[in-house]
Amino acid sequence: MIVVMNRIPVALGFGEAFEERFNRRTGFNDRVPGFIRNEILRPLKSDSYIVKTYWCVQEDFERWTQSDSFRQIQANRQPVEMLTGPNVLEIHEVVQQAGKLVITVHGVDRP
């Protein structure tokens, strides 16, 4: 499994609009071959959000970047003033996993 992380610096005051862009896309990639899940991490002590997508193998991610689905997402770019700098893309292979399943109940995460 691989994790693709995109570190995106978002300007002060644009966080809610940035998150809403992803809320509108929920489920968009669910039928893409090799796609497992995604996570949007809100910054607590910086300006950079982290968008994480999980894929079975790197080729699945690369194939998706050549797809119509990807082109549709890229065609709807965020306004320039929403960002404070360039994004940084990283691709990592998962070599170990540990932890508990977390379930959200009434807005509260419970192990």
Q: What is the pLDDT of residue 95?
A: 93
Q: What is the pLDDT of residue 71?
A: 83
Q: What angle do CA 61, 55, 6 make, to 5 degrees?
A: 70
Which residues are paired to 37 by β-bridges? 54
Mean pLDDT per 10-residue interval, the chain, length 111 residues: 96 93 79 91 94 95 88 76 93 91 69 60
Q: What is the pLDDT of residue 13?
A: 93
Task: Please state, in angstroms and as integers, the Cα–Cα distance from residue 10 to each residue in 14, 78, 97, following that order.
Answer: 6, 10, 29
Both tokens of 8, joined, read 């995106």
Q: What is the pLDDT of residue 23?
A: 85
Number of domains in the chain: 1
Residue 87: domain span: 2-110
Task: Please state, in angstroms and as integers, the Cα–Cα distance from residue 89 to each residue in 2, 30, 53, following that order.
Answer: 13, 21, 11
CATH code, domain carrying 34: 3.30.70.100
Our CA dihedral for 68, 54, 21, 111, rounded to 10 degrees, sits at 150
Task: Please state, in angstroms and as integers, the Cα–Cα distance from residue 58 to each residue in 15, 21, 31, 44, 103, following that order.
Answer: 29, 25, 17, 29, 28
Q: What is the pLDDT of residue 41?
A: 96
